[in-house]
Amino acid sequence: MNMAKILLIQPNKWGRGITSIWIPSHAAALKNAEHDVTLFDSTFYQQWTENEIEYNTENKQYLSTDYSEQIKFNQNDIFEDLQKTINSFSPNIIFWAGLSSHIHGEGEYVNIQYGHELLKKIKTDAIKIAGGLQPTAAPEIMFEKFGTVDYFLRGESEILLVELANKISDMKNFENTDGLIKKINGKTIVNKPQQIISDMDLIPPYDYSVFEDQIFYRAYNGKVIKAVDYEMSRGCVYVCSYCVETSIQQYYGFTETTNTGVLKNASSYLRNKSAKRVFEEIKNLYEKFGVTLIRCQDTNFLTIDSKMLNNLATLIDESKLPILLYIETRPEGINNSSIKLLKKLKVDGVGMGVEISSEEFRKTDLNRYPSQEKIIDAFRLLRNAGIKRTAYNIIGLPNETEEMLIDTIKFNQILEPDNITVAFYSPYLGTDSERKSKKMGDFNNYEFDIDNQLRTVTKSVGLEKKVLEFYKTYFSKLVHDGLKDLNELKKLYELK
């Protein structure tokens, strides 16, 4: 087998450290197959960034830090540098926007668009391949939306991209490969799905060495530390109507659910690495890169196999490594037993979705079933255990009213979270909520520039764009200071 050269592109516009998990996973798989891999990372190009950290510090979502003083922005022209990289590296394949568990935040959804925009001005003979959520959910429209791409990959693509690289380097036909979207005589052809990666240990240890060092710096609770985005598992047992996870579930044939929003036969969809493998990766991240915070992007941490988590907790506890974990989970999983496990795992912070305060709305419109009491109890248990709590909220959901939004602010006052995250609702392709919001006229059939932290693209007349931008700006302030100044703040913002 000959060696292929693969250029991975990180089109991140946030201007702060994100180690998109698909990058180290795909780099590891390709290098293990003896292919040559390099990364072009757009993160710190001044010309490209939208400075998410400055925006969310101003609206009190983040505590202030000296992060901007610890990183250095590149003043070069990003397109010229990308062209130079391609000219010098001469890749056979350019790839961006793969899937991982890192699917629900940090601007991941829009990366297929940003990679496409970077490459539109570039001259190359390389085969341009993009993956991610959009090809997985709606393959038939991909060439219409992203015309410079040669092929698209659906679903999990580490093993698939290695298969393509092998065939391309050996000059073999690859167009019948499962999971591929191709165009023949102007017609889009969608190959059948590839098999799900049933054993995550089949992917070699993730290779974070492709990143430059400053990508690891992260603002966290008022300090700047070294951190990575990381996954121990993939999959989620829940089928929330707005969540991109449901598109991946459907792609792999997991479509049967209970009447309380739970996936049937979920055991085949939930997969995790072994405890030994996770520990070795964490240990390597600390020893090689000085990483002290593992930002677990697992969709629902406490549905990972309990035996694996307990074994991992023992390994971490005995190692005395100076590392901490930040995880995301659901209120249903928080109890006295799981709290003990989290403490042993050295979990410093837990993020949980509140989304909206209305219990009835969560059930009927979001397919989420935890009660108010369960959410309150989960936040209380974590606080008593000394584990920091972040409340995740969504504003601008289809059929949400301003009164509901204000009730969500009041509910956050009851929860008293240590941190508050506010996300604009985004119509993720292939989800039930996306289909509903299109029928309502709130969004177009396909929306570009979606970023749930930086902007809303809504056309709703119920909760107008300017109203949502106001509440994004002042949500945390209104939780902490109360609603007494709401009308005055609206006047200052020139709202009626």
| 2-37 tens-digit pLDDT | 899 999 999 999 999 999 999 999 999 999 999 999
What is the average per-residue pLDDT within 194-222? 97
Q: What is the pTM of this model?
A: 0.97
What is the average per-residue pLDDT within 146-157? 97
Q: What is the secondary structure of 376-444 as a DSSP string?
A: HHHHHHHHHTT-EEEEEEEES-TT--HHHHHHHHHHHHHH--SEEEEEE----TTSHHHHHHHHHTSS-
Give the strands of the sheet with 187-190, arranged side by side: 36-41, 5-10, 93-96, 127-130, 151-153, 180-184, 187-190
What is the average pLDDT value for the chain, to the nearest integer?
A: 96
pLDDT of residue 102: 82
pLDDT of residue 427: 95
The confidence band for 242, taking pLDDT boundaries of 50, 70 and 90, is very high
What is the average per-residue pLDDT within 72-95? 98
pLDDT of residue 461: 86
182-201 pLDDT tens trace: 999 999 999 999 999 999 99
The confidence band for 496, taking pLDDT boundaries of 50, 70 and 90, is confident
What the block records as the tokens of 63 is 């505590």
- Nearest alpha carbon to residue 394 among 352, 430, 449: 352
344-381 pLDDT tens trace: 999 999 999 999 999 999 999 999 999 999 999 999 99
pLDDT of residue 105: 64
CA atoms within 13 A on the CB side of 339: 17
**Domain segments of the chain as ranges:** 5-190, 231-492
**What phi and psi, each to the nearest 5 degrees, are found at residue 413?**
-65, -35
Which residue, chain included where needed, has tokens 């009041």?
410
284-318 pLDDT tens trace: 999 999 999 999 999 999 999 999 999 999 999 99
What the block records as the tokens of 424 is 């604009």
Which residue, chain included where needed, has tokens 């400075």?
51
SS3 track for 183-234: EECCEEEECCCCCCCCCHHHCCCCCHHHCCHHHHEEEECCEEEEEEEECCEE
Q: How many CB atoms lie within 10 A of CB 483?
A: 13
pLDDT of residue 329: 97
Task: For residue 21, give the 3-state DSSP assignment.
Answer: coil
pLDDT at 219 over 80: yes
40-67 pLDDT tens trace: 999 999 999 998 999 999 999 999 999 9
pLDDT at 240 over 90: yes
The confidence band for 104, taking pLDDT boundaries of 50, 70 and 90, is low
What is the average per-residue pLDDT within 123-152? 97
What is the average per-residue pLDDT within 107-120? 92
CB–CB of 283/319 below 8 Å? yes
Q: Which CATH architecture has domain 5-190?
A: 3-Layer(aba) Sandwich (3.40)
Lowest-pLDDT range of 90-104, 211-225, 466-480: 90-104
pLDDT of residue 106: 61
How many Å apart are CA 224 and CA 219, to the nearest integer? 4
Top CATH class, 231-492? alpha beta
CB–CB of 329/205 below 8 Å? no
Higher pLDDT, 251 or 461: 251
pLDDT at 257 over 90: yes
How many Å apart are CA 207 and CA 284, to the nearest integer? 10
pLDDT at 332 over 80: yes
